[in-house]
Amino acid sequence: MSMPKDHPFVYSLFGVQYPGDSPNEKQQSLIDRLDQLITPSAKHVDRIIQDGISTGISGGNTRIWLGYWTSKADFNAWWQQPDTVAFWASLPPDAGVWREIVTVSPSRTQFNTSAKSQVGQGHLGASTDHGTKVGYWGCYRDRMEDSSPTERFQSSLSETPEPRRAKTTDTVREGRLRLTHFPDNLCFVVEGQDRTGMTDEERAHWFEKLDGPVEQWMKDLENAGPEKGVLDARMCYDPDSDIVRDKPPVHRRFARTIQLFYFRDLAAMELIGKTNSGHVGLRMNFMKPYGPRGPLFEKGNMVLWVETSVVRAQDIDCEYVGCVEGTGFLAYDYHAAFKDEAKL
């Protein structure tokens, strides 16, 4: 993505939790109001649903707005609008609403996509040609302008802490908790897939050869946990996209899916990618049909995109209002590296 190095952009993640298959009247009212506020204002918004009310909990859902803002000034102007301020201030102690605001320097991120149209970060600036920085372990790192032999984006954490998460949807921490300081160099990753436009040949190949391995890779990431450097993993889908299969999990049924990850640092993300045998095999099996001389080379219509960002400690601002215990970074607020605003 082509943007000036000194022109940070913003991801805004807002979520509304509901423990059932569908929101009740109160939850739907919050969803409708947030949608009215965010969707017309950000440069681009992916309106998705997390399969599960929180990471590690089976049951419930979270409606998420993944917003892209061209600058911090644009986001702040919206955040300080009277309607936005009034809505956020009005949230009750058990609202089940959260926000995670991530500011990213263009020199500490990479974006890659197979899409011919705009997706994700592509809405913020023109896509760049990665040249020779493709197809090898470490190419994401090499695409980041700030990366160098001496700048390895190493985490300030000596080890990844254990998350403290609820086991059920009804364990709620009432009130507000805002976290404003984090470990340095957390890695935020957005991965997306859109199977809407696949040809019949492509669809047949996908479900015969790739769908199962992709599902297993997503399970491995979701279950990897702190020993693999994964702080949080959200499996999401676009509820307005086509249904392409019947079997669970729910997020794999839909044509358009998005995954949101926080890793301890970029090295943790790289390591799990190149040591997970299923992922290594998946990459090889994917390139056979889609690579040169493959039957789907330059004919496949499936869209993939990946965004990898290394975030400075001061560039994350999160708040949780009456959320399920362990939602997002609530799972780590006991740890000294994740600082509650009130305790700074």
233: closest CA among 218, 222, 219, 217? 222
Amino acid at residue number 291: G
Q: What is the pLDDT of residue 344?
A: 57
- Kind of pairing, strands 9-18 and 339-340? unpaired
Running along the chain, 344 residues long, what does each successive block of 10 average in pLDDT? 85 98 97 98 99 93 98 98 99 98 98 91 90 93 96 96 94 97 97 94 91 93 95 98 95 97 98 93 87 86 96 97 98 92 65
Q: Count of residues for the chain?
A: 344
Amino acid of residue 42: A
pLDDT at residue 343 in the model? 66
Q: What pLDDT, on a 0 to 100 scale, did the predictor assign at position 342? A: 67
pLDDT at 330: 97
Count CB neighbours of 302 within 10 A: 22
What pLDDT does 340 receive?
82
Task: Tell me what pLDDT residue 38 has.
Answer: 98
Q: How much is the pTM?
A: 0.96
Q: Are 188 and 153 in contact (CB under 8 A)?
A: no
| pLDDT of the residue at 298 | 84
Amino acid present at 184: D
Q: What is the pLDDT, as a whole number, of residue 287?
A: 86
- What does each C-alpha distance from 59 to 17, 55, 170, 304 come to in angstroms? 11, 10, 10, 28
pLDDT of residue 128: 83
